[in-house]
Amino acid sequence: MSVLLDVQDLTVQFTLPRQGLFGPRPVLEAVRQVSFRLEQGRALGIVGESGSGKTTAAMATIRLVEAASGKVIFQGEDLLQLDDAAMRQRRRDVQLIFQDPYSSLNPRARVADIVREPMDLMEIGTPEERRARVTDLFRLVGLRPDQLSLFPHQFSGGQRQRISIARALTTNPKLLVCDEPVSALDVAIQAQILNLLARLKAELGLSYLFISHDLGVVRHVCDDVAVMYLGKIVEMAPREALFDTPQHPYTQALLSAAPSLARRKSRGYVRPVKISGDPPSPINPPKGCAFVERCPKAQDICRRVQPLLESRGQNRVACHFPG
Amino acid sequence: MSALLEIENLRVAFNTRHGEVTALDSVSLTVNAGETLGVVGESGCGKSITALSVMGLIPSPPGRIAGGAIRLAGEDLTRVSEARMRALRGAELAMIFQEPMTSLNPVFTVGDQIAEAIMLHQKVGHAQAFRDAVALLDRVGIPSPDRRARDYPHQLSGGMRQRVMIAMAVSCRPRVLIADEPTTALDVTVQAQIFDLLNEIQRDFGAAIILITHDMGAISEMADRVAVMYAGRVIEEADADDVLDHPQHPYTRGLISCIPALGKGDTELREIPGVVPPLHRLGAGCAFAERCAHRNGRCDSGKPLLVNHGHHPAACHAVQEGRI
Amino acid sequence: MTDAVAFKPESPAREAWRMFRRNIPAMIGVVVLSIIVLATLWGTFFFAGNPYEIVWAPHEAPGVAPEFLLGTDYLGRDIFAGLVTGGGPTLAVGAAAAAITMVIGISLGALAGFYGGWVDNLLMRITEFFQVLPTLLFAMVLVTLFSPTLTTIALAIGVVSWPQTARLTRAEVMKIKELEYVTAARAIGAKNRRIIWQVILPNAAPPLIVSATLTIGVAILFEAGLSFLGLGDPNTMSWGLMIGSNRAYILDAWWPVTFPGLAIFLTVFSVSLIGDGLNDAFNPKLRER
Ligand SMILES: Nc1ncnc2c1ncn2[C@@H]1O[C@H](COP(=O)(O)OP(=O)(O)OP(=O)(O)O)[C@@H](O)[C@H]1O
Ligand SMILES: Nc1ncnc2c1ncn2[C@@H]1O[C@H](COP(=O)(O)OP(=O)(O)O)[C@@H](O)[C@H]1O
Ligand code: SF4
Ligand code: SF4
Ligand SMILES: [Mg+2]
Ligand SMILES: [Mg+2]
Contact C288 B273 (CB under 8 A): no
Ligand 4, atom 3, lies closest to the CA of B289
Contact B222 A188 (CB under 8 A): no
Calculate the average pLDDT of chain C. 83
pLDDT attached to residue C7: 41
Q: Which residues of A touch B245 (CB under 8 A)?
A: none
The CA B138 to ligand 3 mean position distance, Å, reads: 27
Task: Compute chain C's Rg from CA coordinates.
Answer: 23
For residue range B77-114, list pLDDT tens digits in order. 999 998 898 888 888 899 988 776 677 888 889 999 99
pLDDT attached to residue C4: 36
Instruction: Determine the residue of A230, A276, A304, A319 to mutate for testing ligand 3's pocket, defined as the one with the most ligand atoms within 8 A of the Cβ atom.
Output: A319
For residue range C200-226, list pLDDT tens digits in order. 998 888 888 888 888 888 888 888 888
3-state secondary structure chain A: CCEEEEEEEEEEEEECCCCCCCCCCCEEEEEEEEEEEEECCCEEEEECCCCCCHHHHHHHHCCCCCCCEEEEEECCEEHHHCCHHHHHHHHHHEEEECCCCCCCCCCCCCHHHHHHHHHHHHCCCCHHHHHHHHHHHHHHCCCCHHHCCCCHHHCCHHHHHHHHHHHHHCCCCCEEEEECCCCCCCHHHHHHHHHHHHHHHHHHCCEEEEECCCHHHHHHHCCEEEEEECCEEEEEEEHHHHHHCCCCHHHHHHHHHCCCCCCCCCCCCCCCCCCCCCCCCCCCCCCCCCCHHHCCCCCHHHHHCCCCCEEECCEEECCCCCC
pTM: 0.80
Q: Name the residue among A191, A265, A278 with its Cβ closest to that of B221.
A: A265
Q: Which residues of B touch C288 (CB under 8 A)?
A: 16-17
For residue range C219-274, list pLDDT tens digits in order. 888 888 888 787 878 788 888 888 888 878 878 888 888 888 899 899 988 988 99
For residue range A155-190, list pLDDT tens digits in order. 888 899 999 999 999 999 999 999 999 888 888 888
Kindly identify which residue of chain A lies nearest to residue B244, measuring between CA atoms.
A261
pLDDT-above-70 percentage for chain A: 99
Interface of C to A at Cβ within 8 Å reads 1, 3, 5, 7, 9-12, 179-181, 183-191, 194, 199, 202-203
Contact C2 B273 (CB under 8 A): yes
Give the C-alpha separation, A96 to A54, whole Å.
Answer: 14
pLDDT attached to residue C220: 85
For residue range B133-181, list pLDDT tens digits in order. 999 998 888 888 888 899 888 888 778 888 898 888 888 888 999 999 8
Total beta-carbon pairs less than 8 A apart between chain B and chain C: 20
At residue A237, does pLDDT exceed 90?
A: yes
pLDDT attached to residue A172: 92
pLDDT-above-70 percentage for chain C: 94
